[in-house]
Structure 1
């Protein structure tokens, strides 16, 4: 009887283990006194082992928003912030590696305030150190197809990281099966985004002629600053442009135009108010009270390795403010280099996003020097549905050679996030897209 009870208990335990994804986490010191936190979930598919599915690195935006926190519990991880299973977790299609980057983001931290990244090249070099350590330590992932997916400013970082990783793989300094990158609602060309805000809002009846004139005027100021390489000033003016938009649209939500932003009291500190507003709007927004309590409470206890002096999100503002000079710089040239190197590049965008609206994405794509751009442009896009039974168009898709674009309908900036959706963003379509990008589905 004892043996039977033990056997039943073992079977139950094995079933429980198979239902819950295997996970690992840790720190990598990417520079002296600069520590990067990562959290890995092995794919959790009922019919396939993790070795039969790809590995996805997820990069959050901001800069300063946490992939291990926001991306994990608000978007694509196995559980939502109520600790309930997510129906559209990407673990059905891939293993996911969340990394809090740049250093200082989420549970990542620096011991010296001079060590925050100030530009994309530092962000990239830190990630190269991390990826080198990761693939050396987790040899089971060296041959599995590896993709970098990203969102918002994470897309700008992903482009730079993808190019450097491709070169490292070619040289043999990092051993992994790198297959491409996906840039979601990505801050690739800030100026093209800013210049499209007015026309986009006007076309959706969120600006009148007067409002359009005001937004156009401040967009021109930003363009002038960028043309003079005054990138810090351009970032400040970007904050001013967002204030002008909020005043004219009754506080439209920058992440989903069908929603409304709840105005926050501006900081009373004697410093650049536009910069404070930018941080509050685009990074602090990713540290909502409930998520903050989850990460600094139950999750911290579960992880057991977070130093006492580190608070989740405690250095996020420093991360954001240290990247101010880099913020408005475009990386269209890096996307061109990726395409020229035959790296697979996917762009995907939510229809209802304002901050990185689809019009702006299409504008920078037209600036690519990629020789196959004309052939890509001539392709007819194809309607996509979440299932064969569905009659509602969920997205449009176009691809040529190693470049693809997904226009995701009824989705905001966070394509897989219920928070910014009406009534929710397109989690099922996002999952289908992941399978298409990673060549599991056509």
Structure 2
């Protein structure tokens, strides 16, 4: 692992030939580095120490954030667009999670963001490899940063990152129990997560129909497309199911006039761009990449990461471009996309690991009703008692009167319904997301 002094210096952002300079301000304490997880496969991590005026970082939890895709970068999108100390304009974020926890961003799987492979055979092709790679990173991280070994450690995730987080959480729990990793692992949070892809796909028609994005004819067409995915899954034709998933999305775009998969109330331009630039009959996986990953590395963020951020970090190899291998990361995981990990969540609950599920009300790609559907399938002895609980309204602050979310909890399972949020909950409802983090990490109830 490469180690560098913590960076405090400010940096300038060059945009279209003109320099835009930050106002003088102090950056939080940081560290970053690479871990070689396998031959020809290196993973990049970036740590921010908690920045609280009232508490030392050792008194606050450590959160690892895993982005989705697969192929979307946590050090880029999650950091600068959602929960990090600065936004993509390099201005302070009022709702950064850093005020309540230290943050560890990891570009995962290998090839994502600043992570890279030197051999095309080194890309991960399944969840098992993804989990094994991340375990190498965590083992090295906690060994090199012993000050975090006793700090409460949580994994938070988004989208496909939730599927990866579930697998990694189970392996981490086993490693802690076996004594091969020293850390105080206390739970995993699955945000708008691709835990059961089929349940998400099947929910698309009813959700869009109930929100007036489909009429009877449209509902019939989307339902037909979803049933084709179901049939492929029943035959265990997983790669075919992925291709049919793409065609189901094409049907939705056609009959909804291009609804935004990530927030149904927000205009989306990425889908039409993808449709115009890619022939779905020939390269549907590439089209899926453009629709679900490329928008998280838009030009402004890419310029930031490949410009001033790269200059700041100083350790990025010359041949590595941020996001340059993301398309290949996505394509290599194609057969894994539609496989569910409900059984892994069951194992986590059975092992008494704290599991949190949270979802944005306006998310389509991973709709809340799809999340509720796979939760009902859990073979967990406490499920009936969880279901019987009455959810409680949540408010952003003590002075707030508007309901911001609902919450239900029993034993080691929590569910948050986040209102007025889409797929990227922290970006849409930053204040409520921050309160949820404090609740999950037991800093408030």
Question: 1:334 matched to which residue of 2?
Answer: 344
Q: Which moved more, 1:315-324 or 1:253-262?
A: 253-262
Are 1:65 and 2:68 counterparts? no
Question: 1:140 matched to which residue of 2?
Answer: 147
Mapped partners of 1:405, 1:329: distance in 2: 22
Q: Which moved more, 1:139-148 or 1:266-275?
A: 266-275
Are 1:375 and 2:378 counterparts? no
Pick from 156, 175, 178 the counterpart of residue 149 of structure 1: 156
Question: 1:230 matched to which residue of 2?
Answer: 237
Are 1:167 and 2:170 counterparts? no
Are 1:217 and 2:217 counterparts? no
Asked if the contact 2:263/2:362 (under 8 Å) is kept, the reply is yes
* 1:348 positional shift: 0.2
Q: Which runs of no fewer than 5 residues in structure 1 stay unpaired?
A: 1-15, 418-424
Pick from 33, 36, 41 the counterpart of residue 34 of structure 1: 41
Q: Which moved more, 1:256-265 or 1:57-66?
A: 256-265
Question: 2:16 matched to which residue of 1?
Answer: none
* 1:237 positional shift: 0.4
Asked if the contact 1:267/1:276 (under 8 Å) is kept, the reply is no
Give 1:73-152 correspondences, 5 Å limit.
73-152=80-159
Are 1:393 and 2:403 counterparts? yes
Question: 2:429 matched to which residue of 1?
Answer: 426
Pick from 296, 301, 308 the counterpart of residue 311 of structure 2: 301
Mapped partners of 1:81, 1:17: distance in 2: 17
* 1:130 positional shift: 0.6
Pick from 54, 59, 68 the counterpart of residue 52 of structure 1: 59
Mapped partners of 2:150, 2:414: distance in 1: 24
Question: 1:277 matched to which residue of 2?
Answer: 287
Asked if the contact 2:187/2:353 (under 8 Å) is kept, the reply is yes
* 1:275 positional shift: 1.6
Are 1:403 and 2:398 counterparts? no
Give 1:241-252 correspondences, 5 Å limit.
241-252=248-259
* 1:290 positional shift: 0.2
Residue aligned with 1:416, SS: helix
Are 1:345 and 2:348 counterparts? no
User: What's the TM-score, normalizing by structure 1?
Assistant: 0.94
Residue aligned with 1:398, SS: strand
Flag the 1:268–1:150 CA change in 2: closer, same or farther, 3 A: closer
Question: 1:20 matched to which residue of 2?
Answer: 27
Asked if the contact 2:358/2:415 (under 8 Å) is kept, the reply is yes
Mapped partners of 1:70, 1:355: distance in 2: 18
Flag the 1:192–1:270 CA change in 2: closer, same or farther, 3 A: closer
Flag the 1:243–1:159 CA change in 2: closer, same or farther, 3 A: same
Q: Which moved more, 1:315-324 or 1:20-29?
A: 20-29
**What are the Cα deviations for residues 42-79 of structure 1, in whole angstroms up to 9, with x where unaligned?**
00011011000000000000000000000000000000
Q: Which runs of no fewer than 5 residues in structure 2 stay unpaired?
A: 1-22
**What are the Cα deviations for residues 385-414 of structure 1, in whole angstroms up to 9, with x where unaligned?**
000100000000000000000000000000
Asked if the contact 1:266/1:276 (under 8 Å) is kept, the reply is no
Asked if the contact 1:222/1:237 (under 8 Å) is kept, the reply is yes
* 1:270 positional shift: 9.6
* 1:32 positional shift: 1.0
Q: Which moved more, 1:400-409 or 1:256-265?
A: 256-265
Residue aligned with 2:426, SS: coil
Asked if the contact 1:266/1:273 (under 8 Å) is kept, the reply is no
Residue aligned with 1:313, SS: coil
Give 1:259-278 correspondences, 5 Å limit.
259-262=266-269, 263-264=272-273, 265-267=275-277, 272-278=282-288
Question: 1:312 matched to which residue of 2?
Answer: 322
Mapped partners of 2:146, 2:278: distance in 1: 51
* 1:21 positional shift: 1.1
